[in-house]
Structure 1
Amino acid sequence: MNDVVFTRTDPRLGEFAVRHVDPAADVDLLHRWLTHPKSAFWLMNEATRDDVARQFTDVAATPGHDALLGTHDGTPAFVMERYDPAGSELADAYRVLPGDVGMHFLVAPTTTPLRGFTLGVLRTVMELLLSDPDNQRVVVEPDVRNTSVHRLNSTVGFEVVGTVSLPGKTALLSTCTRAQYQATVPAEHDQEASR
């Protein structure tokens, strides 16, 4: 389960690698991240260790849904979920198209942020998702109050579709096609990505 499924070398930040979450082995790390005040938009600030383990066990058991742990130069640095919007709470909120893939991501809270790091993580997430030729459009639904992630999403090509009501939040539904993402990739994009 801990085999690397994707790597990306960022010319400025270094090596990113992604593997599937192991709910039992990763629970302490994920619990620490998800209950941190900076992770409030994940709605798990009051979660117990068992709640977190159950959440990620449920994700692993849900068809079309998985959770992945990302490392930066070998150190755990972010978690992401990818899911089939047609099998999610979004199915009733917008018209799901063939090739749509849903995504959430969380960068590990830190007291020593690295400039451009969150963008590097998001580019890694987008390239992982778009490395699958079946994925043609990425769908996100962050909380409307999460303005920093809205700006970041815009940087990599997301366009706002509108607001939708979801359990626990009012979300800003946004989408990004493969072409929209590629148009934001710097010309010096000599990053190597592999599955």
Structure 2
Amino acid sequence: MSHPELAVHTEHEAALDRKLWARPALPEHDTELLHAWMHKPHVVPFWAMDWPQDWIRDYLVRQNEDPARSPLLGYVDDMAVGYIEVYDPARDVLGAHAPILPGDIGAHVLIGDEEHLGRYSVAIGRAVVRFLFKRPGVLRIVGEPDVRNHQFLSLLAFLGFRKVGEIDLPDKRAAFMVCERADFERLSARRRRVSA
């Protein structure tokens, strides 16, 4: 069940003529799906959460109970396509390894459904960035993807993120990526003019 009544963000992607939306990830409904995604070959190397299903459920419960985190399920029309973890980077492991500023917000993004990799990735990425910048007080989006995840790093650069440096986290060597609101809006406006 998609539970559209729980949507926290909805937008129409004109280029694809699709509705993109997100709702809270619910342990009682979404554990099986998230478990399947975490075992996909394109996900395992970067998330390293190919755990038993009860571990995934416990993880989702903890994410929902943590006031510094918001676990979400992302949809294209009525199909669940990905998992988004919005977090306060000052209260995350990232805060001990990178220069976090007031107004920063972090997000982990996983596109679990392979059919929606590729051309859908840009639309989904834009929707996530717009959603995060709609939150009150957010000035920058930060992230720490694995330096080996070249496809995701390219997508972030296309969306307006810049690589500030590399950091060593407990579980990976990461690229510290930053997207400032002004850069994203300027890049989006330029692309709209070019496509008009």
Deviation at 1:69, TM superposition (A): 0.4
Aligned residue in 2 for 1:167: 170
Q: Within 5 Å, which residues of 2 pair with 1:5-154? A: 5-13=8-16, 14-40=18-44, 41-45=46-50, 47-110=51-114, 112-113=115-116, 115-154=118-157
Letter in 1 for 2:173: T
Residue 115 of structure 1 deviates from its aligned partner by 4.5
1:43 to partner: Cα distance: 1.1
Task: Using structure 2 for the length normalisation, give the TM-score.
Answer: 0.90
SS at structure 1 position matched to 2:184: helix
Choose between structure 1 and 2 for higher RCO, CA contacts under 8 A separated by at least 6 residues.
1
CA distance in 1, matches of 2:175, 2:116: 26
Task: Give the 3 Å change call, closer, same or farther, for CA 187–124 of structure 1 in structure 2.
Answer: same
What residue identity is the alignment partner of 2:142?
Answer: V
Q: CA RMSD in A?
A: 1.5
Q: What is the rounded CA distance, in whole Å, between the counterparts of 2:19 and 2:193 in structure 1?
A: 17
Larger helix proportion, structure 1 or 2?
2
Q: Is the 8 A contact 1:80 1:106 kept in 2?
A: yes
Amino acid across the alignment from 1:43: A
- For 2:27 and 2:132, the matched residues in 1 are separated by 21
The percent identity for this pair of structures is 31
* Gap change, CA 1:113 and 1:86, over 3 Å in 2: closer
Q: CA deviation at 1:109?
A: 3.1
* SS of alignment partner, residue 24 of structure 1: helix
Q: Is the 8 A contact 1:18 1:71 kept in 2?
A: yes
Normalised by the length of structure 1, the TM-score is 0.91
Equivalents in 2 of 1:105, 1:184: separation in Å?
21
Structure 1 letter corresponding to 2:49:
M
1:133-175 residue CA offsets vs partner (Å, 9 max, x unmatched): 3111000100010001111000011111111111211100110
Paired residues, number: 186
Structure 1 runs (4+) deviating above 4 angstroms are: none
Q: Residue 37 of structure 1: SS of its match in structure 2?
A: coil
User: Are the aligned partners of 2:73 and 2:83 in contact in 1 as well (CA < 8 Å)?
Assistant: yes
Tell me if 1:179 matches 2:182. Answer: yes
Shift of 1:114: 6.2
Counterpart CA distance in 2 for 1:168 and 1:37 is 19
